[in-house]
């Protein structure tokens, strides 16, 4: 772990793939439609970049991680860490990452079919996630999972260990809280916005006037649409699923998360093709989109 958490992005033409969330089938099919072989080689020398959130929800998170790991280790792809990947790395159990801990995922009392991780798989995944940068950059393009805030990126650039950086800032924020007399909501926001690992992987948040309900829980924080005020080197990110209705592209930003992470809900209604929620790749420099079903 001697590499900076902000690394140089590949030169040349790229295909930047959105949040996969365990959807191994759509990933294989997207790679084919983009013209890659199983080894991740492309006849035109294009290369793959993944925006993170490889895991959770979909049927086979271990297979997705294995494939992306194989591609990155052979120098054919790059990948940044997403917030779901981070939770696993930090050993934070969430409602939809039970597969990693060997537990089945149920929704409305029905089991969602998923491959569960065994001990060996867990170790492999942790070892791989530990190697992933938080951000990738070159003169004309930036890639992060959720957000590119200059001051946080600067902190990440001077660090080489995501887990250590996370804990360092977690502790620093905790230590400063008592003197500041913040209410619990503002304390949460401090941890979200002032920890570079949290900010880059899950984006800035702000206080809501009225509580909003998200996944059955009342929340007093909402996501800030940072891309509306970003005017810098073109930045490609994921995280903000199309289900949230956020705009996909701006002058200098593009969000490539087309929501495939919720495809398991579509499957439960009996759908087997022509899904509404897709896995997508944003092609650079063409600025075109290719979907997993080929469109």
Residue with smallest beta-carbon separation from Mn ion: 239
| Span from 31-39, 42-50, 55-63, 239-247 in contact with Mn ion (CB under 5 A) | 239-247
Check binding of 261 to Mn ion (CB under 5 A): no
Check binding of 98 to Mn ion (CB under 5 A): no
Give whichever of 77 and 81 is closer to Mn ion, judged by the CB atom: 81
Give whichever of 36 and 280 is closer to Mn ion, judged by the CB atom: 280
Check binding of 53 to Mn ion (CB under 5 A): yes
Q: Where are the beta strands (DSSP E) in the chain?
A: 6-8, 14-17, 47-50, 77-79, 105-107, 110-112, 135-138, 141-144, 205-214, 217-223, 235-237, 253-255, 280-284, 288-291
Give whichever of 78 and 83 is closer to Mn ion, judged by the CB atom: 83
CB 262 within 8 A of CB 57: yes
| Tokens matching residue 112 | 């969602």
Give whichever of 83 and 121 is closer to Mn ion, judged by the CB atom: 83
CB 14 within 8 A of CB 50: no
| Span from 64-72, 93-101, 104-112, 232-240 in contact with Mn ion (CB under 5 A) | 232-240
Kindly tell me which residue out of 239, 254, 260, 292 binds Mn ion, with binding defined by CB under 5 A. 239
Give whichever of 33 and 191 is closer to Mn ion, judged by the CB atom: 191
Check binding of 137 to Mn ion (CB under 5 A): no
Phi and psi based region of residue 13 (left: phi greater than 0; alpha: psi -120 to 50; beta: remaining): beta
CB 290 within 8 A of CB 283: yes
| Span from 75-83, 218-226, 265-273, 279-287 in contact with Mn ion (CB under 5 A) | 75-83
| Span from 33-41, 55-63, 72-80, 82-90 in contact with Mn ion (CB under 5 A) | 82-90
Check binding of 83 to Mn ion (CB under 5 A): yes
Give whichever of 53 and 60 is closer to Mn ion, judged by the CB atom: 53
Q: What end-to-end distance do the CA atoms of the chain give, in Å?
A: 39
CB 101 within 8 A of CB 55: no
Q: How far is CA 169 from CA 89, 163, 262, in A?
A: 16, 10, 32
Check binding of 241 to Mn ion (CB under 5 A): no
Provide the binding-site residues for Mn ion, judged by CB under 5 A.
53, 82-83, 239
């Amino acid at each position: 772990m001697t590499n900076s958490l902000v690394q140089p992005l590949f030169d040349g033409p790229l295909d930047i793939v959105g949040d996969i969330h365990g959807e191994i089938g759509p990933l294989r099919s997207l790679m084919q439609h983009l013209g890659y072989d199983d080894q991740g080689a492309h006849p035109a020398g294009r290369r793959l970049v993944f925006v993170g959130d490889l895991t959770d929800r979909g049927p086979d998170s271990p297979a997705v991680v294995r494939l992306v790991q194989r591609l990155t280790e052979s120098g054919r792809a790059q990948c940044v860490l997403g917030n779901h990947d981070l939770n696993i790395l930090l050993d934070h159990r969430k409602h939809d990452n039970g597969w990693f801990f060997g537990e089945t995922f149920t929704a409305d009392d029905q089991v969602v079919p998923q491959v569960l991780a065994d001990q060996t798989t867990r170790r492999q995944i942790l070892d791989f996630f530990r190697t992933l940068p938080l951000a990738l950059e070159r003169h004309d393009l930036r890639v992060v999972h959720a957000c590119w805030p200059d001051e946080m990126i600067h902190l990440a650039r001077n660090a080489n260990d995501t887990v250590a950086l996370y804990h360092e800032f977690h502790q620093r924020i905790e230590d400063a809280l008592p003197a500041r007399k913040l209410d619990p909501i503002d304390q949460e926001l401090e941890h979200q916005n002032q920890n570079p690992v949290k900010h880059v992987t899950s984006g800035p948040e702000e206080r809501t006037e009225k509580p909003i309900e998200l996944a059955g829980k009342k929340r007093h924080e909402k996501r800030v649409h940072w891309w509306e005020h970003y005017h810098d080197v073109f930045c490609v990110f994921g995280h903000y699923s199309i289900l949230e209705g956020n705009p996909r592209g701006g002058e200098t930003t593009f969000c490539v998360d087309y929501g495939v992470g919720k495809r398991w809900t579509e499957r439960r209604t009996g759908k087997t093709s022509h899904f509404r929620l897709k896995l997508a790749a944003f092609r650079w420099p063409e600025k075109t989109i290719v979907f997993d079903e080929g469109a």
